């Protein structure tokens, strides 16, 4: 009243949200004149959380008064707070009060420190292996990557073992072992598991492939100059392929030798296997292969990943040799090199004489086409003089769908041309693998498309 400050209610406890603000009022006896007053607000832990701007007061008497207003915040720390006042820089008293009803937000846990590329590479390299296909002559014909996932357990891509009679596994220290059986496999998923002595190597751990998205960068292992290297690939798409399952598309594509290697998330955990083929049997390290031009990039590089968060526990009952898997249709028969086969090709037209101009090679047909001709040219070059030539057709699940009538051949020293017919309408639309066989052994392979 008058020059006096009148308080309608005096309290030392304030509850949010009922109370939104409050005032703290001070009175002093001080010499007349100019004074500078400042307030320091301390939280219940004693930490100064706010310093109020200086208040300039021109006092004409020995009585000096001042008040401060504080706005409550829902995230203030509850407990006993203190306002300390200084006049002209010197302590001039304090007042305590309690704040309730507020909640201190819980600070998020700091993100885990991600390993560096160098740390990932140094940790991973000892547990990466080379996987080489061995042919009937004991020679390596194809190379891929594999990796350790448990005690005496190595995983690689199905395409890394498909068409092999046995495998050679080479470790980073140069040690080599051979394998001719699988303990687990998925032809549609493009992965297999081998039982090989891993000598206590540290296995890779698995992450969650659902935790990565298009645009994310993953870590993959490449092959450059015959050595395993490390680098980044970007997720460029995701899709579900009927009959084969989920696939993660990557960019840029990697060399074919990179298939079978682990693909890692930012924490260095496996989220998939490089490969993701949806054309089993396409990969073949020989010269007698023809494919649809649209498929050639798939035959020469890898641009897909089969996502995996785990692998089935090994079962001794399921283990099978390569010979057993070949007989049951899990593996694709290897293609043998035969010098007597000069060339082969799929075509719409048939020419009988080796001196006639060759028709155009065709890899895309229609169900309305009358015939698909598998033309081949032969010539005796060694002891191989007589045999049975036949053709078998398989769908994308490696099921035999057709067979051209076999022909007996007596090879002359001059080139001879023959044709074996297939009927597109009997096969229907789809992607097909065609094997040309000599005495029931594939010596040439092609992939064709039949459309409506």
* Distance set, CA 332 to CA 163, 208, 321, 447 (Å): 5, 31, 13, 14
Whole-angstrom Cα distance, residue 114 to residue 112? Answer: 6
Neighbour count for residue 85 (Cβ, 10 Å): 21
The β-bridge partners of 239 are 247
Q: With H, G, I as helix, E, B as strand and everything else as coil, classify residue 223.
A: strand
Confidence (pLDDT) at 235: 96
**Domain termination site, one of 306, 333, 360:** 333
CATH code of the domain containing 285 = 2.40.10.120
Run of H or E residues at 90? strand 90-100
CA 434 to chain CA centroid, Å, is 31
Confidence (pLDDT) at 2: 45
Confidence (pLDDT) at 19: 93
169-208 in b/e form (b: 16+ CB < 10 A) is bbbeeeeebebeebbbbbbbbbbbbbbbebeebebbebbe
Confidence (pLDDT) at 5: 66
Question: Residue written as tokens 């006096």?
Answer: 4
* Distance set, CA 220 to CA 119, 168, 231, 251 (Å): 14, 22, 6, 11
Confidence (pLDDT) at 137: 82
The domain containing residue 184 runs over which residues? Answer: 110-333
Residues 357 and 419 in one domain: yes
**Domain assignment of residue 191, yes or no:** yes
**pTM attached to this predicted model:** 0.73
* Tens-place pLDDT, residues 353-404: 888 898 998 999 999 999 999 999 999 998 888 999 999 999 999 999 999 8
**Domain termination site, one of 74, 100, 126:** 100
Confidence (pLDDT) at 288: 45
Positions in the chain whose pLDDT score sits under 70: 1-5, 284-300, 314-317
CATH code of the domain containing 446 = 2.60.40.10
* Tens-place pLDDT, residues 141-178: 889 999 999 999 999 999 999 988 899 999 999 999 99
């Amino acid at each position: 009243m008058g020059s006096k400050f009148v308080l309608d209610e005096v309290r030392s406890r304030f509850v949010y949200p009922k109370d939104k603000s409050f005032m703290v009022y001070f009175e002093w006896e001080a010499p007349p004149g100019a004074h500078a007053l400042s307030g320091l607000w301390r939280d219940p832990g004693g930490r100064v959380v706010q310093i109020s701007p200086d208040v300039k007061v021109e006092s004409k008497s020995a009585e000096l008064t001042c008040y401060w207003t504080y706005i409550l915040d829902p995230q203030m720390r509850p407990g006993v707070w203190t306002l300390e006042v200084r006049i002209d820089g010197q302590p001039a008293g304090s007042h305590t009060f309690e704040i309730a009803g507020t909640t201190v937000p819980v600070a998020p846990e700091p993100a885990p420190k991600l390993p560096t590329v160098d740390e990932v590479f140094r940790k991973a390299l000892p547990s990466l292996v080379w996987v080489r296909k061995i042919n009937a002559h004991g020679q390596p014909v194809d190379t891929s990557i594999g990796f350790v996932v448990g005690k005496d357990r190595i995983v690689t891509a199905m395409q890394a073992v498909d068409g092999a009679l046995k495998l050679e596994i080479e470790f980073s220290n140069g040690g080599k072992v051979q394998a001719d059986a699988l303990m687990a496999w998925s032809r549609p998923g493009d992965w297999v598991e081998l039982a090989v002595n891993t000598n206590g190597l540290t296995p890779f751990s698995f992450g969650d492939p659902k935790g990565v998205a298009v645009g994310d960068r993953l870590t993959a292992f490449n092959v450059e100059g015959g050595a395993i290297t490390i680098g980044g690939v970007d997720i460029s798409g995701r899709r579900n392929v009927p009959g084969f399952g989920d696939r993660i598309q990557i960019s840029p594509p990697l060399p074919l030798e990179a298939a079978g290697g682990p693909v890692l998330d930012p924490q260095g955990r496996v989220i998939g296997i490089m490969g993701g083929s949806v054309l089993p049997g396409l990969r073949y390290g020989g010269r007698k292969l023809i494919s649809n031009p649209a498929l050639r990039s798939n035959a020469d590089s890898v641009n897909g990943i089969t996502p995996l968060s785990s692998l089935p526990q090994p079962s001794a009952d399921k283990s099978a040799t390569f010979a057993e898997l070949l007989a049951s249709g899990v593996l694709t028969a290897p293609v043998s090199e035969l010098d007597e086969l000069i060339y082969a090709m799929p075509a719409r037209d048939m020419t009988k004489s080796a001196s006639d101009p060759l028709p155009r090679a065709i890899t895309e047909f229609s169900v309305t086409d009358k015939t698909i001709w598998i033309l081949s040219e032969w010539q005796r070059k060694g002891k191989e003089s007589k045999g049975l030539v036949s053709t078998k057709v398989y769908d994308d699940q490696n099921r035999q769908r057709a067979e051209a009538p076999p022909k007996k051949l007596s090879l002359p020293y001059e080139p001879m041309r023959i044709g074996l017919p297939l009927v597109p309408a009997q096969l229907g639309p789809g992607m097909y693998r065609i094997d040309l066989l000599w005495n029931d052994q594939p010596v040439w392979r092609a992939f064709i498309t039949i459309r409506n």
